[in-house]
A and B are shown apart, each in its own frame.
Chain A
Amino acid sequence: MKLDLLTGSRSRILAFGLLAIALIFVGRLFYLQVIQHDYYVSVAADAQQSRFVIPAERGLIYAKSGDEPVQLVMNQTVYTVFADPETVTEPDEIMQSLREIAGGNLRSNAAELLEKTDTRYQILATKLSRVQADKLKERSFTGLGFQAVSQRVYPEGDLAAHVLGFVNTEGVGSYGIEGALNEELQGTDGVLQSVTDVSNVPLTIGNNNIRQPAVDGKNVVLSIDRNIQSKVEQALIAAAERTGATNVSAVVMDPATGKVMAMANLPTYTPGEYFLVDDVAQFNNTVITAPYEPGSTIKAFTMATAVDKNAIKPSDTFVNTDSIRVADRTITNATKGITGTITFETAMQWSLNTGFVTIAQRLGNGSEITATARDTIYTYFHDKFRLGEPTGVELAGEAAGTIIAPDQPTGNAVRYSNMAFGQGMEATMMQVASGFTALINGGSYYTPTIIDGYIQDGEFNQTTDISRLQLV
């Protein structure tokens, strides 16, 4: 049968018109579905999929109580209560409930914030406990939301505050072990990418789901003994009251391992309320951050150097005249009157500067602090006892101090005569204490450490890699 429709000009035009429209549709669909395929797939994925961060739990910090680890720093989930004033329907009831339940966690201007109906997000209360948040949730107020936040808590209060440091509002560890081991403590957040429903509940349907679990931070056990630490802190308070000193510090170490058992400073602060501190210098752990002239404590190092080099024996004698001349300077004793021929042991007992300047001279040619004597003192002080260098203890902000080398213009005989009794040089308390461990344990220098081990899956694994260097 012949199609008469196609023979007419109008029909033909209509047919071509329809064909043209069909071709336009086909072309457009080809463009959208084939050429723009990847783009629209990604747009669809963005609309259907959500990416969640699975937060890693920050590692806990323990101290020791004898051999048992006890928690010093823990994590607690607290809640921030926020409102969308535009959608809130019962502002008065919300405020009444917040006053009843949130108490001191309620912001003083919460009622005013709730009245700002042209805004969509106002924080009304912070740091609510789980129980408080649950009570508020039960009342199902429209426009009221809760955000869980993890915060550090310190069951022992301000014990070992300078050792611990704190975690700032951005979740970054600052000062102390929190700052030094921030990477280890914070862990690695996980990722969950998934198709979600309207309530943002992740669903397993979809081909591009990703689930990468979080890796929690390490639980660190410090070598700090909480009983010794507490006693040291009490002693510091007593010392400050007795002497009127404004800054007091103390460190206790095990000379057989280099492990720090207590470390404290005054003035101190409460890590959980670090934001109340006005002077940031208060955060500094001066045991490691503040180099000072160690003074007469260094006489033990000078004596050890000379004995080890066979320059003297403690029973050897010298003539003490309460002063001694070095180049153009005269060095005198603080304690006068122990004059005449006395042993170096006596000079140590009375802390006589003249005796130790004499020892420095005997490391040279006997009457002068020669270049050889200065080299020897520098080698022992700096390279062996590690004075004037960061010790490497696992705490943030450790300072180096200064030991001026003999090849420096100021590293002359006068400088080294002063260094023989602990002046003209700077070291931290940590360096001096670490050097002393070598003096009293038979000559082994232990790199000081504040970490005793780690707790993994509830099991305490003590660290065994102690850095030991035999000096003599």
Chain B
Amino acid sequence: MGCAYGLRRKAPKQTQTKKHHHMSYQQNQYYTSRRQQNWSRNQNTTRYVSAVKLGPVAHTILVALMITVLGLIYLTQATQATSYDYESQRIDSQIADLNEQKADLEIENARLTALETIRNSDVAREMTTPVSTDFVE
């Protein structure tokens, strides 16, 4: 494989090792940009250049695949958001049902404590008018 990484202290310009190895898939290039030369001294980078050459058909297929994958990702996200909508709708419906139940109970409570109900209750019916009444002054 012979892909050695190396560091060079200064690289005045882009250098390239033109070694071709028989079973290798990539080459290493020692590369230092002009910017790095000016601002990032003592730091070298390497870049990899594919040894495989792709033709226009392969490129097209790859681009189509990428678009498909991106589309799938978008669809997944949209579907996920929609599933949240259904969940939200279900919870809203549940809240509405519970609010209805609460309102029904409040109405029942109000009816049970209404004056007419109290007046017609067994307790009220059994009450009698006192024979005499005294007031504390």
Q: Which residues of A contact B (CB under 8 A)?
A: 70-71, 74-77, 129-130, 153, 155-157, 159, 197, 201-205, 226-227, 230
Contact = CB atoms under 8 A, between A and B. Distances in A.
Interface in B34-92: 78, 81-82, 84-86, 89
Interface in B4-62: none
B20 to A, nearest CB: 38
A156 B119 CA distance: 12
Given A77-B103, A201-B89, A202-B89, A71 B84 contact: no
Nearest to A73: B110
B107 interface: yes
B115 A204 contact: no
A76 B110 CA distance: 12
Contacts of B82: 197, 203-205
B100 to A, nearest CB: 5
Nearest to B81: A204
A368 to B, nearest CB: 53
User: Interface size for chain B: under 10, 10 to 19, 20 to 34, or 35 or more residues?
Assistant: 10 to 19
A156 B101 contact: no
Contacts of B113: 70, 155
Contacts of B104: 76, 129-130
Interface string B87-114: 0010000000000110110110011011
B137 interface: no
A71 B115 CA distance: 12
A197 B86 CA distance: 10
Given A71-B106, A76-B107, A201-B85, A155 B100 contact: no
A205 B81 contact: yes
Nearest to B106: A74
Q: Is the interface of A mostly helix, strand, loop or mixed?
A: mixed
A64 B82 CA distance: 48
B129 to A, nearest CB: 15
B107 A204 contact: no
Contacts of B101: 130
24 contacts: A74-B107, A76-B104, A76-B107, A130-B100, A155-B107, A155-B110, A155-B111, A155-B113, A155-B114, A156-B116, A157-B114, A157-B116, A159-B115, A159-B116, A197-B82, A201-B86, A201-B89, A202-B89, A203-B85, A204-B81, A204-B84, A204-B85, A205-B82, A230-B115
Contacts of B85: 201-204
A144 to B, nearest CB: 19
Interface of B: 78, 81-82, 84-86, 89, 100-101, 103-104, 106-107, 110-111, 113-116
Contacts of A226: 115
A76 B103 contact: yes
A420 B9 CA distance: 118
A75 B103 contact: yes
Nearest to B119: A230
Contacts of A157: 114, 116
A206 B82 CA distance: 11
The 6 closest A-B pairs by CB, nearest first: A155-B110, A155-B111, A203-B85, A71-B110, A156-B114, A155-B114
A153 B78 contact: no
Contacts of A156: 110, 114-116
B110 A77 contact: no
A230 B119 CA distance: 11
Nearest to A71: B110
A130 B107 CA distance: 13
A336 B116 CA distance: 47
Select the residue from B84, B89, B103 with max chain A CB neighbours within 10 A: B103
Nearest to A75: B103
Given A130-B101, A153-B107, 20 more contacts: A70-B113, A74-B103, A75-B103, A76-B104, A77-B100, A77-B103, A130-B100, A130-B104, A155-B110, A156-B110, A156-B115, A157-B116, A159-B115, A203-B81, A203-B85, A204-B81, A204-B82, A204-B85, A205-B78, A226-B115
A70 B116 CA distance: 14
Nearest to A197: B82
A443 B89 CA distance: 61
Q: Most A CB atoms within 10 A — which of B85, B101, B116?
A: B85
A203 to B, nearest CB: 5
Contacts of A197: 82
Contacts of B106: 71, 74
A204 B111 CA distance: 42
B101 to A, nearest CB: 7
A155 B113 CA distance: 9
A205 B83 CA distance: 11
Contacts of A204: 81-82, 84-85
